[in-house]
Amino acid sequence: MNRKIILLFCLVISCGMICGQDTVRVDAVSGASRVDATSGASKVNTEVRQKPKYRFMDHFTIGGYGEAVMTRNFFSNNYFRYSQPDKHKGEQYGVFDLPHVVINLGYDFGRGWSVGMEIEYEHGGTESAVEIEEEEGGEYESEIERGGEVALEQFWIQKTFNPYVSIRGGMIIVPVGGTNAHHEPNQFFGVYRPEGENTILPCTWHEVGLSVWGSWGRKLDWHYNVMFLPGLDSDRFNSKGWIHGGSGSPYEFKLATAYAAALRIDNTSVPGLRLSLSGYAGNSFQNTLKQTKDTKYEKTKGTLYIGSFDFKYDDHNVIVRGSATYGHLEDSEQITAWNRAMRKDSPSPKEPVASDAYALGIEAGYDFFNFNPKLAAHNQKFYVFARYDIYDSMYKMAANQTPVDWCGRQRVACGINYFPMKEIAVKAEFAYGFFRHSSQHQDYNNEPSISMGITYCGLFNKAKLEEWRSRREARRQNR
């Protein structure tokens, strides 16, 4: 009897343990774990998804671009070369430079939130130090070993809702003109950025602001970018650069008494072709620390309007790029008078400012490596190109102002771009700058030059490296 009771007790315990145990199986189709829980006569099946493994490099991107150049200018760089051209004929000088070295960082937080930043070193950055001079009694001296600039050119936080709408706030590129929207070194043939837009507009133009951008259309081939930003600072407009110096701020903050808006629309419905329109409107005069209230300048606004068209065609081994930009500044006469009356130690250039300026440029190149199937298969390209620019930062002046005539220029260039791979370019060009043909400009010395450079533009993170290795392995298998 006791033996039967013990056996029955053991059987009940064993059944309870078996019925209470969860059996885990892996679904061969979905890869998820299936948990079969059995309790008495009922059976419940539930899906438990495996949490994807977090990989930092899937969310983080690092890249950038950079340029190293050498130029021989067969003309003078003397300050008086335009006011006294006869005294500076035959002079020349050379330049070695790092125009731009940029590091891009980005991180995708998920759920549509991301952040990006761009740190730029212009002309090699800056180097300064304090040293003790043994030959001058141990005095402390401050020395600048290298000129240049270091700037946080971009920093933004973005929320993407869908392909149609994204909102971005922070330090953002103002996409007015072809060069600002496409300023990387693989987006132009020349060793330097296109001279016209780079002269009369801030370049690369970046401001703290808010933008809404996205795409629309059945194929999402229309793209828009609307931006709200502070107005430019007319205190730093000048003759040669027109509004070029009005972006940013020489102070620890950005003056924003006046506001502006920018708009850009791109269309890519035709394969290989991009057509773009961009514009800007905003006041500029009130962005100053010096008060204008109760003065004759109280109602001066300095409203600035800019319109630009640019395009790119890239197909059939041909690349053609072009842009046309025109700007109008109201109250240019009052702005000139105001700037000239500022203190000598102010950051204003105190020069005449034009009411209108323009820049036109076009370039075309053909890839001759397409005739060699082996080089084409390795994605190497060799473009022979030509470019023409015409621009004038003092195209129109107020009635009682005298224009600075040497600001009207033309430039022709021709050269090569060799791409051993997509991210690297070796450039060389010959350029010839000259002035308008009229009795007022014949005394100026023309400006020929020869330039060479090497550039990079791309991503450095792991995803890009794996993509490159995959392409390399595919090429090996095709041999």
Beta pairing, strands 113-122 & 139-146: unpaired
Task: State the pLDDT at residue 27.
Answer: 37
Does residue 153 or residue 479 have the better pLDDT? 153
Chain center to CA of 450: 26
Within 8 A by CB and 6+ apart from 312, the residues are 178, 182, 273, 274, 319, 320, 321
Q: pLDDT category, 59, cuts 50, 70, 90?
A: confident
How far is residue 156's CA from residue 471's CA, in Å, rounded to a whole number? 32
Task: Give residue 467's pLDDT band: very low, low, confident or very high (50, 70, 90).
Answer: low
Query: What does the pLDDT look like over 399-423, one tens digit per residue?
Result: 777 778 889 999 999 999 999 999 9
Angle, CA 359 vertex, CA 408 and CA 283 arms, to 5°: 105
- The per-residue pLDDT for range 136-178, each reduced to its tens digit, is 556 666 677 777 888 889 999 999 999 999 999 999 999 999 9
- Residues 178-207: what's their mean pLDDT? 95
Lowest mean pLDDT among 1-15, 45-59, 316-330: 1-15
- Confidence check: pLDDT of 358 > 60: yes
What does the pLDDT average to over 304-325?
A: 98
Mean pLDDT of 207-226: 95
Cα end-to-end distance, the chain, whole Å = 85
Q: In whole numbers, what is the pLDDT of the chain averaged over residues?
A: 84
Q: Indicate whether 273 pLDDT > 90.
A: yes
Q: φ and ψ at 152, to 5 degrees?
A: -85, 95
Confidence (pLDDT) at 375 = 85
Distance CA 472, CA 479 (A): 11
Q: How confident is the model at residue 348 (pLDDT cuts 50, 70, 90)?
A: confident
pLDDT at 146: 74
- pLDDT for residue 28 is more than 50: no
Percentage of the chain surpassing pLDDT 90?
Answer: 59
User: Regarding beta strands 60-73 and 42-48, do their DSSP bridges make them parallel or antiparallel, or are they unpaired?
Assistant: unpaired
Tell whether the torsion through CA atoms of 396, 400, 406 and 407 is positive or negative. Answer: negative
Partners of 17 in the β-ladder? none
Of 404 and 322, which is predicted with more confidence?
Answer: 322
pLDDT interval class at 206 (50, 70, 90): very high
pLDDT band of residue 213 (cuts 50, 70, 90) is: very high
Confidence at 124, pLDDT banded by 50, 70, 90: confident
Asked whether 334 and 299 are in contact (CB, 8 A), the reply is: no
* Position 132 confidence tier, pLDDT thresholds 50, 70, 90: low
Domains and CATH numbers, the chain: 59-478 (2.40.160.10)
pLDDT for 474: 63
Mean pLDDT of 4-18: 41
pLDDT at 361: 97
Q: Say what the pLDDT of residue 35 is.
A: 35
Mean pLDDT, range 74-85, rounded to an integer: 90
Of residues 62 and 56, more confidence is placed in 62
- Residue 306 φ/ψ, nearest 5 degrees: -135, 135
Please state the rounded mean pLDDT for residues 66-75: 97
Please report the pLDDT score of residue 295 as a whole number: 80
pLDDT band at 70 (very low <50, low <70, confident <90, very high): very high
Name the more confident of 431 and 129: 431
Query: What pLDDT is recorded for position 30?
Result: 34
User: In terms of Cα–Cα distance, which of 423, 426, 431 is closest to 448?
Assistant: 431
Q: Cα(327)–Cα(306) distance, rounded to whole angstroms?
A: 4
pLDDT for position 319: 98
Whole-number pLDDT of residue 133 = 60
Residues contacting 116, CB < 8 A, separation 6+: 104, 105, 106, 107, 154, 155, 156, 158
Does the pLDDT value for residue 426 go beyond 80?
A: yes
Would the pLDDT of 22 be above 60? no
pLDDT, residue 19, reads 40
pLDDT at position 6:
44
Q: pTM of the entire structure?
A: 0.82
Reported confidence tier of residue 461, pLDDT bands at 50, 70, 90: confident
Q: Which is more confident, 113 or 293?
A: 113
| CB distance 175 to 154 below 8 Å | no
Q: How far apart are CA 79 and CA 83, in angstroms?
A: 8
**What angle (nearest 5°) sits at the alpha carbon of residue 204, between those of residues 320 and 122?**
110
